[in-house]
């Protein structure tokens, strides 16, 4: 149950990043910064931060991986929708 917050945060970050305009580098930097912030928040909310600071890194990776997976799924859906038109 503790890992639901980082996964949902990653999906939401991917949805927000899709709407951002600008260069790819700026979008990537925004995604990384948001993932780091939400990874820290996830570690704090679950109480893992009291045990070790390394859990921030673990939750950061979970948020980043779920954001990447959501981006891949959105792109795949976009390709399928183009083909059906």
Domain extents for the chain? 4-84
C-alpha to C-alpha distance for 31 and 52, rounded to whole angstroms: 24
Is the pLDDT confidence value at 7 over 80?
yes
- What average pLDDT does the chain have? 93
Residue with tokens 């939750």, as numbered in its chain:
59
Residue with tokens 């945060």, as numbered in its chain:
9
Instruction: Give yes or no for a contact between 61 and 17, defined as CB atoms under 8 angstroms apart.
Output: no
User: Quick one: average pLDDT of 63-83?
Assistant: 95
Long-range CB contacts for residues 73-82, cutoff 8 Å, separation at least 24 = 74/14, 74/15, 74/18
- 34: three-class secondary structure by DSSP: helix
User: Quick one: average pLDDT of 9-28?
Assistant: 91
- Give the model's confidence band at 1: pLDDT under 50 very low, under 70 low, under 90 confident, else very high: low
Is the pLDDT confidence value at 38 over 70?
yes
Report pLDDT for 21.
80
Instruction: Give yes or no for a contact between 77 and 61, defined as CB atoms under 8 angstroms apart.
Output: no
User: Quick one: average pLDDT of 67-85?
Assistant: 93
């Amino acid at each position: 149950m503790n890992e639901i917050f980082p996964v949902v945060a990653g999906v939401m970050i991917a949805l927000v990043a899709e709407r951002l305009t600008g260069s790819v580098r700026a979008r990537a930097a925004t995604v990384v910064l948001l993932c780091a912030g939400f990874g820290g928040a996830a570690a704090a909310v679950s109480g893992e931060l009291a045990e070790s600071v390394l859990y921030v890194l673990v939750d950061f990776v979970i948020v980043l991986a779920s954001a990447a997976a959501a981006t891949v799924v959105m792109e795949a859906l976009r390709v399928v929708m183009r083909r059906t038109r």
